[in-house]
Structure 1
Amino acid sequence: MDHYSFFDRDLSWLLFNERILMEAEKETLPVLERVNFLSIFSSNLDEFYRVRIPVLLAVHKLAKRGSSEKEDVLLEAQALIGYQQQKFGKIFTGQLIPLLKQHKVNLLFNEPIPNNIADKVMDYFYSQVMSFLQPIDLADTKKSFFPENNRLYFFISLRTANDLERNVILAIPSNQLPRFYSVSVADEQYILFLDDIIRHNLNKLFKNEVVTGCYSFKITRDAELDLKDEYHGDLSEQIEKQLLKRDMGIATRFLHQPGIPLRTLHFITDKFGLQSSSVVEGGIYHNLKDLMSLPVNNPLLRYTRWAPINSYHVTDEGSLFDHIEKQDYIFHAPYQSYNTILRFFNEAATDASVDEISVTLYRVASDSRIVNALISAANNGKKVRVMVELKARFDEANNIKWAKKMKAAGVDIIYSDKALKVHAKIALVKRQVNGRDKYSGLLATGNFNESTAAFYTDHIMMTANPLLLREMELLFMFLAKGKKSAEGYPVDFKHLLVAQFNLQSRFMELIDQEIANAKQGLPAAITIKLNNLEERKLIGKLYEASQAGVKINMIVRSICCLIPGVKGMSEHINIRRIVDRYLEHGRIFVFENNGDQKVFMGSADWMNRNIYRRIEVCFPVYDEKIKAEVMQLISLQLQDNVQAVNLDTALQNIRIEPKPPLIQAQRGIYEFLKAKSDN
């Protein structure tokens, strides 16, 4: 594999975030949807600084000492981020704010408060904002101050009546008050940043002093939790303690507004120990992920809503489990209503014939009806076994909350080992019918989460196939034993592809079969849809397949370390990326198999973490009707010439020149599924 080339995962991710910016500058989109893409870009970048910049900083230090074999990409990443932030600013101030103004929405951006709303803004400041303002004098040794992660602050320089200088920190209370204040006069709407309402009224807060400088900043901190392998207490208690420390982590970015004096900049970095962090000059406003909550109610400025399609598969007659026993079903969120998935859990909780429910939960909705159904099931006397992944980054607290509630209701809660995450999305229901055990199961590409199901594209299959469900039961038995490793555990999965057991080796065998077919002149092709592609053994096998003449089409949403289109290595590999109104999330794997296509779906990306440090499940699609339906969806995505881009050898996003017929995959999928439901 040494002769193969791979793209850096972090630079690849940043180029994905640039694809988000491309949507923000797309003139055919409604203006508020373009604003939302800026919000997504900002949120993504914050996470990058919390999760990936700590790694790059560490590698950079090693590279400076000459002891790192990995390429030092920190400077390249910082340059790319700087370019993207400039582009962000041009789109926001040069395009979107003027467009909003054309629709009588005045988003005030670093400008004076108009006279016609000044009185209302002043009243809002005095009645709502002022009570949250608590200046901290940096010279006061009795008060300590620690800048919290991604919290918004002003550094304010003051001159007293005695002509003395004083420096204070003022937190902008955007976690307690809305970030934006809206007021309408006649038919004009005015929207102000909370930051500006405070900035313009500082003289009312510091009545006997002169404000000589006011500069916004925020500090982003490392999000990694320090979980101790030797810890012998309850894992949830350990994680809860670490969550309290997360916002106290090492600073990875000091983001400040332009124009801050160098003397002030040095004072802040010295005062708060920020010398090792990335010092970044940003705009005058930070946390622009808050743009998602911009208070504009004009529906003409947003996407026309696609109402979820009611499932045409399942009738109201009889038990849902009786329907599943007769045939497999597949549901495609968010195009189709999630109500049938909720019905699965609700019926399991109340059906007298159900005696056991097992499920894996990775990211749980904040107000989860699914978890409430599991609690009801336990209260109804059923044995409920739930594998809750407490280490789902940024969802730890919510998962702990629900785990406690379920445990109190009598649910058997299983936690994964500290070094192993359970990322599989499976559920199993056992019934007693006429003295016989009958099983029904869910296998999904995404979380059992009704909130994200409204905007993540995922696929959920319902089945009573004993070949699959017996292996699901064996996997739950393995998880219940709390094993740290699958090594030596006597389970031989024949149908499911399970990370830690057979997932990587089985995918390698499937690719090898395509290579063998290509060498014999037989039909050979691979189509893969993933969120992220990093793991080098599998990428190397795809390179090998390309060299053998296997035609490979890939849809990779985000991280992509495979370099396509390189002669002698990957010239038969085409990679595209689709960004549209919904977040592409489902994983699909199709192998031509000499005309007898093998189709798999599941939870696993091809990342190091998914292959080596998680329990993942991919499942075969045996039902021919479902297989045909999945292939139709994939076909539409491979034909998309509106929202898809191709990745070139530098992984740049190359727009596809739209030629008739125009095909927008997400719209095409919605129309295809709606037509099926109407028939």
Structure 2
Amino acid sequence: MTRADLAEQSVDLSDPRYYINREVSWLGFNERVLHEALDPRTPLLERLKFLAIYSSNLDEFFMVRISGVMEQAEAGVHPRTPDQTAPAKQLEIMRSHLVKEVALQHQTFEYELRPALTEHGIYLQNYRDLTQEQIFFLRDYFEKRIFPVLTPLSVDPSHPFPRMSNLSLNLAVRVADPETGLERFARVKVPSSLPRFVGMPEPLRTYQGEPCQWIGVPLEQVIAENLGYLFTGMAIVGHHLFRITRDADFPVLEDEADDLLLAIEKEISKRRLEGFVCRVEVESTMPEDLKAGLMGELKVGRDRVYEVDGLLNLSDLFFFLSLPLPELKDQPWAALVPPRLKPVVDLDGDDAKGYSEHPPNIFATLREGDILMHHPYESFTASVQEFITQAANDAKVLAIKMTLYRTSGDSPIVKALIAAAANRKQVVALVELKARFDEANNIEWAKKLEDAGVHVVYGIVGLKTHTKTTLVVREEGDEIRRYVHIGTGNYNPKTSKLYTDLGLLSCRDDLGADLTDLFNSLTGYSRQQAYRKLLVAPLTLRDRMEALIHREIDQAQSGGKGKIVAKMNSLVDARIIKLLYEASQAGVEIDLIVRGICCLRPGMTGVSDNIRVISVIGRFLEHSRIFCFHNDGQPEYYIGSADWMTRNLDRRVEAVVPIEDPGLNKELQMILDTLLADNRQAWEMDADGTFTQRRPQAGEEARGTHATMMAYTLKRDSLL
């Protein structure tokens, strides 16, 4: 079938029915996260973790996505999304979905997981079910640790309704004057600076007279049972917990901001208190008149109120992973050192063993060939972090340039850049101040870097710099050699233990030249128009990806084999989706591995018959992006920071790199094959947008991606 034939077909590939609404698709992703908490195959404390992740994800979704749709609906605008679902209809669909899902989440915790915890000696109790000695302890704890922190705020004609911070947990308290009988309303904020769950000291760690692993109560119950301390002489009529969520997506007019850092600092302070309330969670026992009063003061309708039967803010359940109960958690995993970066043994060492170990010279190692790292199976510390640390302390290194989108609060990467500046190297750090919810952390690091003499820049006006790249310039004899790292994940040693990501270390001349040009365009006024190898957004990435898909179409139409395998976090861009539909119609076989949002509908007759979509959810968060194009039996592989989303292709600085070493391509193909063969963590997408979890068939062994990759990494290490 030629392109002309495709064009003459009656199928209109722009028809909204061929596209899934982005927000609805995200809800499906978070539902798959929730399923990990429902799945009895998941270890108990890990099930609590997934409940917490579900809640944390949902908080951010309300703050950014739902709040945005609310603004569209109130303004009466109808953005031209491919699915053409009006904002008001989106809100209706999302609320209907969430009312059921949130109820399921809380029911799972209250009636399944909470009782299951007691079977292992973990008791999250109600205050009044404790022994007298335990209550005495909590009363003393309240007086000494909690009471001094609390500030009750009354509401009356002389005291307006208090401003409440985003995601704050609050007690709505009714008190009555015994002399007049007049009732008053007051608000008590549950301090986020104190632990959410108050556990008993070891002597009181008992249940029904028997020792237990942990026993305690939520912080809000300790406050609620001691409200008399706050309202002396008043009668406590009732108290009910509620929590608010505010719009937290703010615009920064970069071209009008004299100082971007100061402008974003100002907006961060607004975010906590000034965003409109987009959700109110209340205890289901809250009386209707009190609920109505809250709604009036917060200026929200009933469609923004979610009644909760049980504990509010289940994201705090992360606490229980700190308990020393390894049998209730995933088996621990310690990342292994990549084979070519194994420590070098020095037989003349000075220690008592007569030998010592130290990392190899990473620059000499790279001159022998590229290295591909797969985190968290392989160590971020022993590869990426070691690369930057060695560069910071190598006398031959002249300059280090890198992009920082998100990093940890105690970042060793940033400390290495500061050390490099102290060693009189030229250091450039592009710090993305607009990395949502990491702005404050990035501002702090930007200031520290500047104070240390690092040249800090904030990227290009109007674009987020999302690329994960480092360039090291080293003097070697009479020549200058450039070393690079290009990855799919952030320079964050903490998330590198939780996210699956890929990174390439190389000293290929063309990549070094490309990164030099890229950094010049980011830090100066260069208008780079082309790159040798890198696919760079917003300049060349979209055009090249579309050209690679067209090449597969041409191959299929000429009687050959067309095949695409692509792994990413999200697939949203309408142009790419439409092109994939065209490829499917031409006979190109397409396998998509999409963890989160997918607006494409697979398996539609005459449109996407040849497209399959799976999502893998499990122990690690699948974050790497891999793109494989068959290319008439000479497959080309790419990795990078960009998803197939319009923002990544058109509104962010991204870098995708071709992997040209045949051995490294075999590694990438093995990763893709493992994901596609998964029958434990994989979900298959249907044309209606729903997902069905794969299960091992009778007599078939479970093949979970993460377990398979850990076993593969261990086996390879044992053979070295």
TM-score normalised to structure 2 length? 0.90
For residues 339-381 of structure 1, what are the alpha-carbon distances to aligned partners after superposition, in whole Å with 9 as ceiling and x for unaligned?
2211101111110110011101100111000011011111111
Tell me what 2:238 maps to.
213
Determine the structure 1 residue equivalent to 2:74. 61
How far did residue 144 of structure 1 move? 6.3
Instruction: For 1:666 and 1:73, locate their aligned partners in 2 and report how far apart those are by CA, in whole Å.
Output: 35
Q: What amino acid sits opposite 2:183 in the alignment?
A: E
Aligned with residue 562 of structure 2, among 524, 549, 559: 524
User: How far apart, CA to CA, are the structure 2 residues paired with 1:64 and 1:471?
Assistant: 42
Task: Measure how far apart 1:225 and its partner are.
Answer: 2.2
Aligned twin of 2:42: 29
Are 2:707 and 1:667 aligned? yes
Give the alignment partner of residue 117 of structure 1, picking from 124, 128, 134: 134
Whether the 8 Å contact between 2:72 and 2:78 is mirrored in structure 1 is no
Residue 322 of structure 1 aligns to a residue whose secondary structure is helix
Counterpart amino acid of 1:211?
I
For residue 402 of structure 1, the aligned residue among 419, 430, 445 is 445
Q: Deviations over 1:363-404 (max 9, x none)?
A: 011100001101111111101111110000000011111111
1:533 aligns to 2:546 (yes or no): no
* Structure 2 Cα separation of the partners of residues 111 and 652 of structure 1: 44
Q: Distance in 1 between matches of 2:40 and 2:528?
A: 57
Please state how far the C-alpha of 1:82 moved relative to its aligned partner: 0.6
The corresponding residue for 1:258 is 284
CA distance in 2, matches of 1:407, 1:322: 31
Distance across 2 between alignment mates of 1:276 and 1:161:
33
| Equivalent in the alignment of 2:319 | 293
Q: Which residue of 1 aligns with 2:469?
A: 426
Counterpart CA distance in 1 for 2:190 and 2:650 is 42
Alignment-mate amino acid for residue 494 of structure 1: R
Structure 2 equivalent of residue 157 of structure 1:
174
Cα separation, 2, equivalents of 1:571 and 1:308 = 40
Q: Is the 8 A contact 2:106 2:311 kept in 1?
A: no
Residue 170 (structure 2) pairs with residue 127 (structure 1): no
Residues 14 and 578 in structure 2, CA contact (< 8 A), matched pair in contact too? no
Residues 106 and 308, structure 2, Cα contact 8 Å, conserved in 1: no
Q: Is the 8 A contact 1:416 1:482 kept in 2?
A: no
Structure 1 residue 228 corresponds to structure 2 residue 253: yes
Give the CA deviation at 1:274: 3.1
Is residue 148 from structure 1 mapped to residue 188 from structure 2 by the alignment?
Answer: no
Return the alpha-carbon distance in structure 1 between the equivalents of residues 79 and 483 of structure 2: 57
Deviation at 1:520, TM superposition (A): 1.9
- Counterpart for residue 101 of structure 1: 118
> Structure 1 229/309 Cα, relative in aligned 2: closer, same or farther at 3 Å?
closer
Rounded to whole Å, the distance in 2 between the matches of 1:636 and 1:232 is 48
Q: Is the contact made by 2:615 and 2:684 (CA closer than 8 Å) also made in structure 1?
A: yes
- Say which is worse superposed, 590-599 or 667-676, in terms of deviation: 667-676
CA shift digits 1:457-480 (9 cap, x unpaired)? 001110011122211111111111
Q: 2:400, 2:470 within 8 Å by CA — same for their partners in 1?
A: yes
Alignment partner of 2:510 out of 462, 467, 480? 467
Aligned to 2:395: 352
Which residue of 219, 224, 241 maps to 2:266?
241
SS of aligned partner of 2:256: coil
**Which residue is equivalent to 2:8?**
none
Which deviates more from structure 2 when the two are superposed, residues 636-645 or residues 207-216? 207-216
1:303 aligned to which of 313, 330, 336: 330
Out of 21, 27, 35, the residue aligned to residue 14 of structure 1 is 27
Q: 181-190 vs 74-83, which deviates more?
A: 181-190
Report deviation, 1:116: 5.5
Cα RMSD for the two superposed structures:
1.9
For residues 563-610 of structure 1, give each alpha carbon's deviation from its aligned partner in whole angstroms, at most 9, with x where no partner exists: 111111111111111111111100000111111110000000111211
Cα distance, 1:337 vs structure 2: 1.3
Name the structure 1 match of 2:10. Answer: none
Q: By how many angstroms is 1:222 displaced?
A: 0.9
Q: Does 1:270 align with 2:287?
A: no
Alpha-carbon shift at residue 64 of structure 1 (Å): 9.1
Alpha-carbon shift at residue 112 of structure 1 (Å)? 3.6
Structure 1 gaps of 5+ residues are 484-488
- Cα distance in 2, alignment partners of residues 66 and 431 from structure 1: 50
1:77 equivalent in alignment to 2:94 = yes
Tell whether 2:309 aligns with 1:283.
yes
Deviates more, 1:534-543 or 1:109-118: 109-118
Do the aligned partners of residues 658 and 66 (structure 1) sit closer, same or farther apart at CA in structure 2, a change above 3 Å counting?
Answer: closer
My pick for the range that moved more, 112-121 or 178-187, is 112-121
Task: Render the CA deviation track for 1:491-539: whole Å, top value 9, x for unaligned.
Answer: 3123111111110111111111111111122121110101011000001
The alignment status of 1:329 with 2:374, answered yes or no, reads no
Query: Could you state the TM-score of these two structures normalised by the residue count of structure 1?
Result: 0.96
Q: Which amino acid aligns with 1:60?
A: A
Aligned partners of 2:162, 2:232: CA distance in 1, in Å? 23
Give 1:202 shift.
Answer: 2.2
Task: Give the counterpart letter for 2:188 in structure 1.
Answer: L
Q: Taking structure 1 as reference, are residues 239 and 66 closer, same or farther at Cα in structure 2, changes over 3 Å only?
A: closer
The answer to whether the 8 Å contact 1:533/1:605 transfers is yes
Per-residue CA deviation, residues 47-96 of structure 1 (Å, 9 max, x unaligned), is 01100112221233355999996423111001111110111012111210
Instruction: Work out the CA distance in 2 between the residues paired with 1:276 and 1:100.
Output: 35
Partner amino acid, structure 2, of 1:208: G
More deviation in 324-333 or 38-47? Answer: 324-333
Instruction: Return the offset for 1:110.
Output: 8.0
Distance in structure 1 (CA, Å) of the matches to 2:156 and 2:129: 32
Number of the residue aligned with 1:486: none
Indicate if the aligned counterparts of 2:153 and 2:187 stay in contact, CA closer than 8 A: yes
Task: Tell me which moved more, 662-671 or 104-113.
Answer: 104-113
Assess if the C-alpha contact under 8 Å between 2:641 and 2:654 holds in 1: yes
